[in-house]
Amino acid sequence: MIETIQPGRSLTVAQAAADVVVEQARELKRHGRLAKGGRDPEGVHQMRVATRRLRAALRVFKGRLEVPEPVRQALRRLARRLGAVRDRDVLLTLVREHHLPQLTGQERARLGRIVGDWRDERAAGQKRLGRELARRRHAKLLKALVRWAEATGPEGPADPAADVLAEAVESQAVALARHGGITEAAPSPEDLHGLRIGFKRLRYTLDIHAAACGLGYDVERRLARRMQDVLGEIHDRDLLLDRLAAGKGLYRGPWPGLHPRLAHERQALVRRFLRLRGEWIRRTREPVLEDDPARFVSLQPARVQLRLVGGTKHVASAMVR
Protein backbone atom coordinates (compact mmCIF):
# COMPACT_ATOMS: atom_id res chain seq x y z
CA MET A 1 0.00 0.00 0.00
CA ILE A 2 1.02 3.63 -0.45
CA GLU A 3 2.80 5.10 2.52
CA THR A 4 0.57 7.70 4.15
CA ILE A 5 1.91 11.24 3.88
CA GLN A 6 0.58 14.17 5.81
CA PRO A 7 -1.33 16.43 3.44
CA GLY A 8 -0.63 20.13 3.33
CA ARG A 9 -4.39 20.73 3.15
CA SER A 10 -7.20 18.76 4.73
CA LEU A 11 -9.96 18.98 2.17
CA THR A 12 -12.85 16.58 2.20
CA VAL A 13 -13.89 14.64 -0.90
CA ALA A 14 -16.76 17.08 -1.43
CA GLN A 15 -14.57 20.16 -1.05
CA ALA A 16 -11.84 18.84 -3.35
CA ALA A 17 -14.30 17.82 -6.05
CA ALA A 18 -16.16 21.13 -5.83
CA ASP A 19 -12.95 23.16 -6.05
CA VAL A 20 -11.61 21.26 -9.06
CA VAL A 21 -14.95 21.42 -10.88
CA VAL A 22 -15.40 25.16 -10.37
CA GLU A 23 -11.81 26.01 -11.30
CA GLN A 24 -11.94 23.94 -14.48
CA ALA A 25 -15.35 25.36 -15.39
CA ARG A 26 -13.70 28.76 -15.17
CA GLU A 27 -10.90 27.53 -17.46
CA LEU A 28 -13.49 26.34 -19.99
CA LYS A 29 -15.10 29.75 -19.96
CA ARG A 30 -11.76 31.59 -20.15
CA HIS A 31 -10.52 29.68 -23.19
CA GLY A 32 -13.89 29.24 -24.87
CA ARG A 33 -13.82 32.48 -26.86
CA LEU A 34 -10.39 31.69 -28.32
CA ALA A 35 -11.41 28.10 -29.11
CA LYS A 36 -14.65 29.22 -30.75
CA GLY A 37 -12.79 31.64 -33.03
CA GLY A 38 -10.57 28.83 -34.28
CA ARG A 39 -7.54 30.97 -35.11
CA ASP A 40 -5.29 29.93 -32.22
CA PRO A 41 -4.96 26.17 -31.55
CA GLU A 42 -3.96 26.90 -27.96
CA GLY A 43 -7.53 27.76 -27.00
CA VAL A 44 -8.74 24.33 -28.14
CA HIS A 45 -5.82 22.65 -26.38
CA GLN A 46 -6.46 24.40 -23.06
CA MET A 47 -10.18 23.68 -23.20
CA ARG A 48 -9.41 20.02 -23.85
CA VAL A 49 -7.06 19.91 -20.84
CA ALA A 50 -9.74 21.47 -18.63
CA THR A 51 -12.31 18.95 -19.88
CA ARG A 52 -9.94 16.08 -19.15
CA ARG A 53 -9.29 17.33 -15.64
CA LEU A 54 -13.01 17.67 -15.03
CA ARG A 55 -13.69 14.14 -16.25
CA ALA A 56 -10.73 12.78 -14.26
CA ALA A 57 -12.08 14.34 -11.06
CA LEU A 58 -15.57 12.95 -11.65
CA ARG A 59 -14.07 9.54 -12.39
CA VAL A 60 -11.96 9.53 -9.21
CA PHE A 61 -14.85 10.53 -6.97
CA LYS A 62 -17.43 8.35 -8.72
CA GLY A 63 -19.44 6.35 -6.21
CA ARG A 64 -19.02 9.00 -3.52
CA LEU A 65 -20.61 11.89 -5.36
CA GLU A 66 -23.62 11.87 -7.63
CA VAL A 67 -23.10 13.87 -10.81
CA PRO A 68 -26.15 14.44 -13.05
CA GLU A 69 -25.95 12.24 -16.12
CA PRO A 70 -26.72 15.16 -18.48
CA VAL A 71 -23.58 16.88 -17.17
CA ARG A 72 -21.47 13.78 -17.87
CA GLN A 73 -22.96 13.48 -21.36
CA ALA A 74 -22.33 17.15 -22.12
CA LEU A 75 -18.70 16.80 -21.06
CA ARG A 76 -18.27 13.73 -23.24
CA ARG A 77 -19.77 15.57 -26.23
CA LEU A 78 -17.54 18.57 -25.63
CA ALA A 79 -14.48 16.31 -25.34
CA ARG A 80 -15.29 14.72 -28.71
CA ARG A 81 -15.69 18.10 -30.39
CA LEU A 82 -12.41 19.38 -28.95
CA GLY A 83 -10.58 16.15 -29.76
CA ALA A 84 -11.64 16.21 -33.41
CA VAL A 85 -10.02 19.63 -33.84
CA ARG A 86 -6.98 19.09 -31.64
CA ASP A 87 -6.04 15.77 -33.27
CA ARG A 88 -5.97 17.44 -36.68
CA ASP A 89 -3.90 20.32 -35.31
CA VAL A 90 -1.30 17.86 -34.04
CA LEU A 91 -1.07 16.00 -37.36
CA LEU A 92 -0.88 19.21 -39.36
CA THR A 93 1.94 20.52 -37.18
CA LEU A 94 3.84 17.24 -37.44
CA VAL A 95 3.66 17.03 -41.23
CA ARG A 96 3.86 20.69 -42.25
CA GLU A 97 6.76 21.61 -39.98
CA HIS A 98 8.82 18.42 -39.99
CA HIS A 99 8.19 16.54 -43.24
CA LEU A 100 6.52 18.44 -46.05
CA PRO A 101 9.42 20.91 -46.53
CA GLN A 102 11.88 18.00 -46.82
CA LEU A 103 10.08 16.20 -49.66
CA THR A 104 10.21 16.91 -53.37
CA GLY A 105 8.33 16.19 -56.59
CA GLN A 106 5.25 13.99 -56.71
CA GLU A 107 5.68 12.81 -53.15
CA ARG A 108 5.53 16.35 -51.84
CA ALA A 109 2.51 17.12 -54.03
CA ARG A 110 0.63 14.06 -52.77
CA LEU A 111 1.43 14.87 -49.16
CA GLY A 112 0.30 18.43 -49.82
CA ARG A 113 -3.10 17.08 -50.94
CA ILE A 114 -3.33 15.03 -47.74
CA VAL A 115 -2.56 18.15 -45.72
CA GLY A 116 -5.32 19.92 -47.64
CA ASP A 117 -7.73 17.14 -46.67
CA TRP A 118 -6.74 17.50 -43.03
CA ARG A 119 -7.28 21.24 -43.21
CA ASP A 120 -10.78 20.64 -44.53
CA GLU A 121 -11.48 18.09 -41.79
CA ARG A 122 -10.10 20.50 -39.20
CA ALA A 123 -12.29 23.31 -40.54
CA ALA A 124 -15.37 21.08 -40.40
CA GLY A 125 -14.52 20.04 -36.84
CA GLN A 126 -13.91 23.67 -35.89
CA LYS A 127 -17.31 24.64 -37.30
CA ARG A 128 -19.01 21.93 -35.21
CA LEU A 129 -17.05 23.04 -32.14
CA GLY A 130 -17.97 26.67 -32.73
CA ARG A 131 -21.65 25.79 -32.94
CA GLU A 132 -21.34 23.74 -29.75
CA LEU A 133 -19.73 26.60 -27.84
CA ALA A 134 -22.25 29.14 -29.16
CA ARG A 135 -25.28 27.13 -28.09
CA ARG A 136 -27.17 27.78 -24.90
CA ARG A 137 -26.50 24.25 -23.74
CA HIS A 138 -22.77 25.04 -23.37
CA ALA A 139 -23.57 28.02 -21.15
CA LYS A 140 -26.00 25.77 -19.28
CA LEU A 141 -23.22 23.21 -18.79
CA LEU A 142 -20.93 25.79 -17.18
CA LYS A 143 -23.71 26.97 -14.88
CA ALA A 144 -24.69 23.39 -14.04
CA LEU A 145 -21.11 22.60 -13.04
CA VAL A 146 -20.96 25.61 -10.73
CA ARG A 147 -24.38 24.89 -9.20
CA TRP A 148 -23.36 21.29 -8.59
CA ALA A 149 -20.13 22.41 -6.90
CA GLU A 150 -21.93 24.98 -4.74
CA ALA A 151 -24.40 22.33 -3.57
CA THR A 152 -21.79 19.61 -3.11
CA GLY A 153 -19.01 21.45 -1.28
CA PRO A 154 -20.82 22.03 2.03
CA GLU A 155 -23.14 19.02 1.95
CA GLY A 156 -21.15 16.20 0.30
CA PRO A 157 -19.12 13.36 1.83
CA ALA A 158 -16.64 14.32 4.53
CA ASP A 159 -14.13 11.55 3.73
CA PRO A 160 -10.56 12.92 3.55
CA ALA A 161 -9.77 13.65 -0.09
CA ALA A 162 -6.12 12.64 0.45
CA ASP A 163 -7.13 9.05 1.26
CA VAL A 164 -9.51 8.69 -1.68
CA LEU A 165 -7.04 10.20 -4.12
CA ALA A 166 -4.19 8.04 -2.84
CA GLU A 167 -6.33 4.95 -3.41
CA ALA A 168 -7.11 6.09 -6.95
CA VAL A 169 -3.44 6.78 -7.66
CA GLU A 170 -2.38 3.36 -6.44
CA SER A 171 -5.14 1.58 -8.36
CA GLN A 172 -4.15 3.29 -11.60
CA ALA A 173 -0.44 2.71 -10.97
CA VAL A 174 -1.08 -0.99 -10.30
CA ALA A 175 -2.89 -1.26 -13.64
CA LEU A 176 0.04 0.43 -15.37
CA ALA A 177 2.58 -1.89 -13.68
CA ARG A 178 0.75 -4.88 -15.17
CA HIS A 179 0.14 -3.34 -18.59
CA GLY A 180 1.76 -4.90 -21.64
CA GLY A 181 3.36 -1.57 -22.50
CA ILE A 182 5.35 -1.88 -19.28
CA THR A 183 5.91 -5.64 -19.09
CA GLU A 184 6.62 -6.53 -22.74
CA ALA A 185 10.16 -6.15 -24.07
CA ALA A 186 8.85 -4.92 -27.44
CA PRO A 187 5.35 -3.49 -26.87
CA SER A 188 2.96 -3.44 -29.83
CA PRO A 189 1.47 -0.16 -31.10
CA GLU A 190 -1.79 -1.21 -29.43
CA ASP A 191 0.02 -1.73 -26.11
CA LEU A 192 1.67 1.68 -26.37
CA HIS A 193 -1.62 3.39 -27.21
CA GLY A 194 -3.34 1.77 -24.24
CA LEU A 195 -0.41 2.69 -22.00
CA ARG A 196 -0.70 6.29 -23.16
CA ILE A 197 -4.32 6.40 -22.04
CA GLY A 198 -3.35 4.91 -18.68
CA PHE A 199 -0.60 7.45 -18.09
CA LYS A 200 -2.87 10.28 -19.16
CA ARG A 201 -5.44 9.29 -16.54
CA LEU A 202 -2.79 8.82 -13.87
CA ARG A 203 -1.25 12.19 -14.64
CA TYR A 204 -4.53 14.02 -14.18
CA THR A 205 -5.27 12.12 -10.97
CA LEU A 206 -1.81 13.07 -9.65
CA ASP A 207 -2.51 16.70 -10.59
CA ILE A 208 -5.76 16.64 -8.63
CA HIS A 209 -4.03 14.97 -5.67
CA ALA A 210 -1.31 17.63 -5.63
CA ALA A 211 -3.81 20.49 -5.90
CA ALA A 212 -6.16 19.12 -3.25
CA CYS A 213 -3.54 18.03 -0.72
CA GLY A 214 -0.72 20.52 -1.14
CA LEU A 215 1.70 17.59 -1.11
CA GLY A 216 2.12 15.57 -4.23
CA TYR A 217 3.99 12.82 -6.01
CA ASP A 218 5.91 15.53 -7.79
CA VAL A 219 8.63 13.40 -9.40
CA GLU A 220 6.14 10.79 -10.57
CA ARG A 221 3.75 13.46 -11.83
CA ARG A 222 6.38 15.03 -14.05
CA LEU A 223 7.54 11.62 -15.26
CA ALA A 224 3.96 10.58 -16.07
CA ARG A 225 3.57 13.70 -18.19
CA ARG A 226 6.78 12.94 -20.08
CA MET A 227 5.56 9.40 -20.67
CA GLN A 228 2.22 10.68 -21.93
CA ASP A 229 3.97 13.10 -24.29
CA VAL A 230 6.37 10.60 -25.84
CA LEU A 231 3.65 7.96 -26.20
CA GLY A 232 1.47 10.56 -27.91
CA GLU A 233 4.24 11.33 -30.40
CA ILE A 234 4.66 7.62 -31.12
CA HIS A 235 0.91 7.25 -31.62
CA ASP A 236 0.80 10.16 -34.10
CA ARG A 237 3.43 8.48 -36.24
CA ASP A 238 1.79 5.07 -35.93
CA LEU A 239 -1.45 6.52 -37.27
CA LEU A 240 0.28 8.00 -40.29
CA LEU A 241 2.44 4.92 -40.92
CA ASP A 242 -0.69 2.73 -40.84
CA ARG A 243 -2.40 4.92 -43.43
CA LEU A 244 0.65 4.87 -45.67
CA ALA A 245 0.86 1.08 -45.33
CA ALA A 246 -2.82 0.69 -46.25
CA GLY A 247 -2.16 2.72 -49.39
CA LYS A 248 -5.74 3.80 -49.98
CA GLY A 249 -6.85 6.97 -51.71
CA LEU A 250 -4.42 9.85 -51.24
CA TYR A 251 -2.19 7.59 -49.14
CA ARG A 252 -1.39 5.33 -52.07
CA GLY A 253 2.40 5.02 -52.32
CA PRO A 254 5.23 4.73 -52.82
CA TRP A 255 6.62 7.05 -50.13
CA PRO A 256 10.41 6.78 -50.47
CA GLY A 257 11.07 9.96 -48.51
CA LEU A 258 8.28 10.16 -45.95
CA HIS A 259 8.06 6.54 -44.80
CA PRO A 260 11.74 6.18 -43.78
CA ARG A 261 11.65 9.55 -42.03
CA LEU A 262 8.59 8.58 -39.99
CA ALA A 263 10.05 5.15 -39.19
CA HIS A 264 13.34 6.70 -38.07
CA GLU A 265 11.53 9.21 -35.84
CA ARG A 266 9.45 6.43 -34.34
CA GLN A 267 12.52 4.37 -33.50
CA ALA A 268 14.10 7.34 -31.73
CA LEU A 269 10.88 7.97 -29.80
CA VAL A 270 10.62 4.31 -28.77
CA ARG A 271 14.19 4.45 -27.44
CA ARG A 272 13.23 7.52 -25.42
CA PHE A 273 10.14 5.73 -24.16
CA LEU A 274 12.17 2.71 -23.07
CA ARG A 275 14.51 4.97 -21.09
CA LEU A 276 11.56 6.66 -19.42
CA ARG A 277 9.95 3.28 -18.76
CA GLY A 278 13.09 2.11 -16.99
CA GLU A 279 13.09 5.27 -14.88
CA TRP A 280 9.40 4.84 -14.10
CA ILE A 281 9.90 1.25 -12.96
CA ARG A 282 12.89 2.17 -10.79
CA ARG A 283 11.03 5.01 -9.11
CA THR A 284 7.76 3.24 -8.47
CA ARG A 285 8.87 -0.24 -7.46
CA GLU A 286 10.60 -1.02 -4.18
CA PRO A 287 13.61 -3.25 -4.95
CA VAL A 288 13.03 -5.33 -1.82
CA LEU A 289 9.70 -6.47 -3.25
CA GLU A 290 10.69 -7.52 -6.75
CA ASP A 291 8.05 -10.26 -6.73
CA ASP A 292 5.37 -7.58 -6.36
CA PRO A 293 5.67 -5.13 -9.27
CA ALA A 294 2.39 -3.42 -8.46
CA ARG A 295 3.89 -0.80 -6.15
CA PHE A 296 3.68 2.96 -6.23
CA VAL A 297 6.15 4.77 -3.99
CA SER A 298 6.44 8.51 -3.66
CA LEU A 299 10.18 8.98 -3.31
CA GLN A 300 10.12 12.75 -3.07
CA PRO A 301 6.85 14.03 -1.64
CA ALA A 302 7.08 17.79 -2.05
CA ARG A 303 4.88 20.80 -1.51
CA VAL A 304 3.29 21.87 -4.75
CA GLN A 305 0.95 24.62 -5.89
CA LEU A 306 -1.12 23.79 -8.94
CA ARG A 307 -3.77 26.04 -10.44
CA LEU A 308 -6.43 23.35 -10.41
CA VAL A 309 -8.39 24.50 -7.40
CA GLY A 310 -9.51 27.85 -6.13
CA GLY A 311 -11.77 29.34 -3.52
CA THR A 312 -15.13 27.88 -4.51
CA LYS A 313 -17.29 30.78 -3.33
CA HIS A 314 -15.14 33.39 -5.06
CA VAL A 315 -14.87 31.50 -8.33
CA ALA A 316 -18.52 30.50 -8.37
CA SER A 317 -19.72 34.06 -7.91
CA ALA A 318 -17.46 35.18 -10.76
CA MET A 319 -18.78 32.46 -13.03
CA VAL A 320 -22.46 33.27 -12.67
CA ARG A 321 -22.12 36.97 -13.36
pLDDT tens, 147-162?
Answer: 998 888 677 677 888 8
Of 208, 203, 176, 206, the closest CA to residue 192 belongs to: 176
pLDDT, average across residues 176-195: 95
What's the number of domains the chain is made of?
Answer: 1
Give the SS3 label for residue 307. Answer: coil
Q: Does residue 266 or residue 308 have the better pLDDT? A: 266
Q: What is the pLDDT of residue 212?
A: 80
Q: What is the pLDDT of residue 162?
A: 84
Other C-beta atoms closer than 10 Å to the C-beta of 68 total 12
Q: Judge whether 42 lies within some domain.
A: yes
pLDDT per position as a tens digit, 35-55: 998 888 999 999 999 999 999
Query: pLDDT at residue 171 above 70?
Result: yes
Which has the minimum average pLDDT: 96-100, 138-142, 241-245, 290-294?
290-294
Q: What is the pLDDT of residue 145?
A: 93
Q: What is the pLDDT of residue 298?
A: 54
pLDDT per position as a tens digit, 71-93: 999 999 999 999 999 999 999 99
**Domain around 56:** 13-320
Instruction: Indicate the pLDDT class of residue 286, thresholds 50, 70 and 90.
Output: low
Q: What φ, ψ does residue 84 adopt, rounded to 5°? A: -60, -35
pLDDT, average across residues 156-185: 87
DSSP-assigned letters across all residues of 104-141: -HHHHHHHHHHHHHHHHHHHHHHHHHHHHHHSHHHHHH
Q: Judge whether 1 lies within some domain.
A: no
Q: Which of 16-30, 174-188, 258-272 has the highest mean pLDDT?
A: 258-272
CA 55, chain centre distance (Å): 10
Q: Judge whether 117 lies within some domain.
A: yes
Q: What is the pLDDT of residue 297?
A: 59
pLDDT, average across residues 185-202: 96
Q: Judge whether 92 lies within some domain.
A: yes
- Residue 116 is part of a domain; what is its CATH number? 1.40.20.10
Instruction: Indicate the pLDDT class of residue 290, thresholds 50, 70 and 90.
Output: low
- State percent of the chain over pLDDT 70: 84
Instruction: Indicate the pLDDT class of residue 310, thresholds 50, 70 and 90.
Output: very low
**Residues 254-263: contacts with CB within 8 Å, 24+ apart?**
255/107, 256/107, 257/102, 257/103, 257/104, 257/107, 258/99, 258/103, 258/107, 258/111, 261/99, 261/102, 262/99, 262/237
CA 231, chain centre distance (Å): 12
> What's the first-to-final CA gap in the chain, in angstroms?
45
Rg of the chain's alpha carbons, rounded to an integer? Answer: 21
Q: Judge whether 191 lies within some domain.
A: yes
pLDDT per position as a tens digit, 104-134: 999 999 999 999 999 999 999 999 999 999 9
Query: pLDDT at residue 193 above 90?
Result: yes
- Mean pLDDT of all residues in the chain? 85
Q: Judge whether 8 lies within some domain.
A: no
Q: Judge whether 166 lies within some domain.
A: yes
Q: Judge whether 4 lies within some domain.
A: no
Q: Does residue 264 or residue 296 have the better pLDDT? A: 264
Q: What is the pLDDT of residue 301?
A: 47
Alpha-carbon gap, residue 86 to 276, rounded angstroms: 25
